[in-house]
Structure 1
Amino acid sequence: MDFKESLDRVLKVLHTGGIILYPTDTVWGLGCNATNEQAVKRLMDIKGRPNGKGLVVLVDLPQRIPSYVDDVPDMAWELIDLADKPLTIVFDKGKNLSSLVYGKGGSVAIRVSQSKFCQQLISKFRKPIVSTSANFCGKPYPKSFNDISIELIDKVDLVVPIEFDTDSTGKPSSIISVGKGNTVKILRD
């Protein structure tokens, strides 16, 4: 199966509210349509993740962020421009996403993916996708595809071919919170 056929299969699963297991710019992740409440609920059930913890949302381009965030502080744009490794930014207030992706007080964590596969997928899907590490809640994140539990693999609707894993660092992203007045807090380096 070639790249276009594989991408079309992934898009079909996402459009129908399915859950994918896919390579990102950090670690292998579980993903779904970040605007579909039922899909996000199912993903959280599969992972065993409690409500209210929030999830990372991937976009393909920085210009998409204002569609999902009430206010993008200038500092966030600076951080995105300067980032030399995957960076997730937590914004004070999200919008236009499943309520289940929001953290405390309606905050939202967004990363502009550096993965070529993810960028193409999100661009063609035309919506953001959830990205949470491919592990059960409380278990170690997978450094590679081989570290992913068979039980988890059996629960998803589609596993993206391993050949598309060209950009994964094998480490989670840095997480920085950017608030009003350009306040910055490093949550994970």
Structure 2
Amino acid sequence: MEIANQAVEKELTIDDSKPFVTKQDVAAADSETPAYEIKGPRGYVVGIPVGANFAPEFRDSAGAPIDPSARVTLQKCDRQGNRLGGKIAITDLLSSFDYEQMRTDPDYFRKVTKPLMIDEDELVRCFIDIPAGSNGFSASESRLTIGDDTSDFGVPAEIVSHSDLTTEESKAVKRASTRGGR
């Protein structure tokens, strides 16, 4: 997947509008299906730094909020989709998030606690573990925002073309990717 007309380094917000982000419905009691998947675009490295905003608005097919006791986890996975235990950027109960307040009031921001580097074809997934008996996650009714590239107080995610990295930076990215990365 190519990202046209990218600058050498570009700050961005990761959300549903990005071509490297996909989402799908998740049934209650299904903790293995990711609600969102961020796949590193060919030729690029995407970075999610510590302190980047993490703002989920997860709803069911009727548009109602998901059970607040559902657990949300943003985690790096290997290229086969298996979770990497030490690569959890954030995990919390859905009750900890208020999407509307988080988008406007820095006091309500929830932030990534571990940085993630997503090299080309690498995966970061957002899982939502919804209790059995609750309504499932509707991809069409939900949204997720990671990073903030529009305000003075938010921390953006970044995307960099491999061709714009120095030789040393490129080697470091490849080494990190081979070991499961950050």
| RCO higher in structure (CA 8 A, sep ≥6) | 2
TM-score normalized by the length of structure 2: 0.27
| Higher fraction of helix | 1
- Decide which structure has the larger Cα Rg and report it: 2
| Higher fraction of strand | 2
